[in-house]
Amino acid sequence: MTQTHDALQVLRSRGYRVTEPRKRVLKVLAEAQRPVSPYEIQEILQQKGEYLNHVTIYRVLDLFCSLKLAHKVLLGGGFVRCTLGAEDGCHRFVVCRQCGALREYADKALCEEETAIAQEFGFRAEQHFSEFSGICSECMASARS
Ligand SMILES: [Zn+2]
Ligand SMILES: [Zn+2]
Ligand SMILES: [Zn+2]
């Protein structure tokens, strides 16, 4: 709940209106237990008797991603709400390949290292994305028992 509330504050402070579609998509992301696609977001809303068209959902997700309120997960696809807030460094994910559990983290040193690599190639780094997969502690525990 606080997450949704904070996100609304971020929208307002950046000069964006808190519209009904934005509120609805935020709520779906906040309640989802795993990454959701725009199509799934539409379905979840429909179950609640609410309707948003695809174009609107995509536009809202684009805005949320640009404000770092949400992220697109590369492994498996779909969108998740941001769980970090204003931490230093780009937001990255580790994903459990068995159950899909997701952990978001930010590491400024990693960013600096990648920026240095880019510089060696004559690039200016702007944003870093990365994900790696593995097995989460719960899946490891249940495999052992
Ligand atoms: Zn994030
Ligand atoms: Zn970075
Ligand atoms: Zn797992």
Q: pLDDT tens, 119-145? A: 999 999 998 989 999 999 999 999 887
| 79-81/91-96 β-pairing | unpaired
- Taking the centre of ligand 3 as the mean of its atom positions, its distance from the CA of residue 144, in whole angstroms, is 13
Residues 112, 46, single domain; the answer is no
Tell me the CA distances in angstroms from 144 to 66, 94, 134, 138, 141, one per residue in order. Answer: 41, 21, 16, 10, 5
- Taking the centre of ligand 1 as the mean of its atom positions, its distance from the CA of residue 145, in whole angstroms, is 34
Residues with CB under 5 A from ligand 1 (ion): 82, 84, 91
Q: pLDDT tens, 82-124? A: 998 777 889 999 999 998 889 999 999 999 999 999 999 999 9
Domain region containing 48: 2-81
- Taking the centre of ligand 2 as the mean of its atom positions, its distance from the CA of residue 92, in whole angstroms, is 9
Sorting pLDDT into bands at 50, 70 and 90, what band is 3? low
Sorting pLDDT into bands at 50, 70 and 90, what band is 56? very high
Averaged over 44-73, what is the pLDDT?
95
Round to whole Å and give the CA distance between 141 and 121: 43
Residues 42, 110, single domain; the answer is no
Structural domains of the chain, count:
2
- Smallest Cα–Cα separation from 11: which of 71, 63, 78? 63
- Taking the centre of ligand 1 as the mean of its atom positions, its distance from the CA of residue 85, in whole angstroms, is 6
Domain at 76, CATH number = 1.10.10.10
Question: Does position 19 have pLDDT exceeding 70, yes or no?
Answer: yes
Question: Does position 65 have pLDDT exceeding 80, yes or no?
Answer: yes
Residues 64, 105, single domain; the answer is no
DSSP H helices in 1-145:
2-13, 20-31, 38-47, 54-66, 108-120, 137-144
- Taking the centre of ligand 2 as the mean of its atom positions, its distance from the CA of residue 38, in whole angstroms, is 26
Q: Coil, helix or strand for 49?
A: coil
Residues 6, 76, single domain; the answer is yes
Residues 73, 98, single domain; the answer is no
The pLDDT value recorded for residue 92 is 94
Residues 74, 105, single domain; the answer is no
- Give the up-direction half-sphere exposure of residue 112: CA atoms within 13 A in the CB hemisphere: 4
Domain at 134, CATH number = 3.30.1490.190
pTM for this model (two decimals): 0.86
Domain final residue, candidates 31, 58, 81: 81
Question: Does position 9 have pLDDT exceeding 60, yes or no?
Answer: yes
- Taking the centre of ligand 1 as the mean of its atom positions, its distance from the CA of residue 91, in whole angstroms, is 5
Residues 95, 72, single domain; the answer is no
Round to whole Å and give the CA distance between 28 and 6: 15
> Is 115 a domain residue?
yes
Residues 96, 77, single domain; the answer is no
Domain final residue, candidates 29, 61, 81: 81
- Taking the centre of ligand 3 as the mean of its atom positions, its distance from the CA of residue 135, in whole angstroms, is 5
Residues 75, 114, single domain; the answer is no
